[in-house]
Amino acid sequence: MDVSWEQSVTDSINAIYLLFSAYLVFVMQLGFAMLCAGSVRAKNAMNIMLTNVVDAVVGSISFYLFGFAFAYGNASNSNPFIGTNLFALTNIPNDSYDYGFFLYQWAFAIAVAGITSGSIAERTQFSAYLVFSFFLSGFVYPVVVHWVWSSDGWLSPSSSELFFGSGAIDFAGSGVVHLIGGIAGFWGSFLEGPRVGRFDAFGKPVPMRGHNATLVVLGTFLLWFGWFGFNPGSFDKILVPYPSTTNQGNWTSVGRTAVTTTLAGSTAGIVTLFSRRLLVGHWDALDVCNGVLGGFVAITSGCSVVEPWAAILCGFVSSWVLIGLNILALKLKYDDPLEATQLHGGCGAWGLIFTGLFAKEQFVIEAYNSGDIGVKRPYGLLLGGGWGLLGAQVIEILAIVSWVSVTMGPLFYVLHKLGTLRISIDEEVAGLDISSHGGYAYAPQEENHPRFYADYLRIQDDRS
């Protein structure tokens, strides 16, 4: 049967919307690169930018070969744990997925590895990045995607057998993306230990601020821009009318999702600004940037199912989650140069809990049932929706933490035991740019500093 022109136009508009959202999410890779580069010392800027490129190119191959299949494979023998077909995009496009959907999901996959890279910055061998990036993007992350975002997944809110009668609502990935990246980064950073000089002989923290605040702010705004593809884009289709109204549809929910995203990040930034002013005595631009990102991470789970006023509350709490975890990390002598574990892990977990408390029933039905009249679903506990949704959210947190710990923890441990995880003290002091990448991102100002890789090797020979 020929497709009507109305259906063709609808499909085309939805395809354009999804592709544009994919491009926005991909821009976040540039945001991560700038944020990370500005947050490390100048002698490691080349290294951290290269790792962001590697996350993209290595993640592309692994997600193409088997990551997408593990995430969305839906053959007759598929199961709630992992997909079993569509390897290397075989049989795509089909009735369920096309190339545009793959591209959008790929942009998400490579973002996860970028989060983890920040936790182990300034002290990790480059070969270790290649290994963990391939494994994380191609296997660890896709399995969780299948649990939550595939209709076959055991936690999926679109499953025919809803977990706790609800399924876990993680609309754009506070857990699926950010919590995974944060927990993976935690294990890498924990096994490597702090950077040389991060804590003095008495265990007190020594500040190691990033070298370029301009890049941090630029990266933050690029990530903010990309988040408009990350959260609103997760509707996949924009031209879906709701049957209960004559003038509302997914386009309405897309706009509201962009608003809740903006309000949560902005509130977190304001709260962090004044909170850090009270704690450290000055206005700190870098802390505010991380606060803004923490608000975005937290709202990512419930962005489509909460009211704007609730998003403000989400951002307010997320800033204190980040501040509290950063204080705890220093007390425990845990060193994460980008605060990735605290930001993506801590705020991601809070975002899942927040959704279980404040999700609105009408918005849940719009997001997951296209606004069908007569559908009943569990919603936020504090709005009278019962414990089903909150219970599913807690189970998602526990499942993700457990899964990432039993996969990435052993991987980092093996790399550590093989001596391929952390660089030597000499290399770390000299900087990864000169010891591993042939030269600095910027010309060194000190005349006695080695300017090229050959100079660095000569110094090492003289010492031996």
Q: Give the SS3 label for residue 199.
A: strand
Task: Give strand ranges (E) for 265-357.
Answer: none
Amino acid 373: pLDDT: 78
Mean pLDDT over each residue of the chain, to the nearest integer: 92
Comparing 335 with 451, the larger pLDDT belongs to: 335
Give residue for tokens 């993976």. Answer: 184
Burial class (CB in 10 A: 0-12, 13-18, 19+), 386: middle
95-115: average pLDDT? 93
Q: How confident is the model at residue 201 (pLDDT cuts 50, 70, 90)?
A: confident
Mean pLDDT confidence for 456-462: 65
CA-to-CA dists, residue 35 to 45, 49, 87, 211, 436, angstroms: 11, 10, 34, 11, 21
Mean pLDDT of 393-412: 97
Task: Give the model's pLDDT for residue 435.
Answer: 84
pLDDT digits (tens, 9 = 90+) for 4-48: 888 889 999 999 999 999 999 999 999 999 999 999 999 999 999
At 452 the three-state DSSP class reads: strand
Q: Determine the pLDDT at residue 7.
A: 87
Mean pLDDT for 217-239 is 96
pLDDT at 146 over 90: yes
Cβ atoms < 10 Å from Cβ of 269: 23
Give the three-state DSSP class for 135.
helix
Domain ranges of the chain: 18-422, 426-458
Prior bond of 93 cis (ω within 30°):
yes
Q: What is the CATH number of domain 18-422?
A: 1.10.3430.10
Lowest-pLDDT range of 74-83, 146-155, 204-213: 74-83
Residue 233 has pLDDT above 90, yes or no: yes
Q: Is the pLDDT of residue 445 over 60?
A: no
Range 65-90 average pLDDT: 89
Instruction: Give me 329's structure tokens.
Output: 């990390």
Torsions phi, psi for 214 (to 5 deg): -60, -45
C-alpha distances (whole Å) from 394 to each of 156, 357, 387, 397, 399 are: 14, 11, 11, 5, 9
What was the pLDDT predicted at 442? 81
Comparison of pLDDT for 452 and 404, the residue scoring more: 404
Q: What integer is the mean pLDDT of 167-186?
A: 96
What is the rounded radius of gyration, in angstroms, for the C-alpha atoms of the chain? 22
Task: Label residue 452 by pLDDT band (50, 70, 90).
Answer: low
| DSSP label of 44 | G
Percent pLDDT > 90 in the chain is 76
pLDDT at 449: 65
Res 455: pLDDT: 64
At 159 the pLDDT is: 87
SS3 string, 337-402, reads CCCHHHHHHHHHHHHHHHHHHHCCHHHHHHHHHCCCCCCCCCCCHHHCCCCHHHHHHHHHHHHHHH
Residue 231 confidence (pLDDT): 97
What confidence tier does 244 reach under pLDDT thresholds 50, 70, 90?
confident
pLDDT at 444 over 70: no
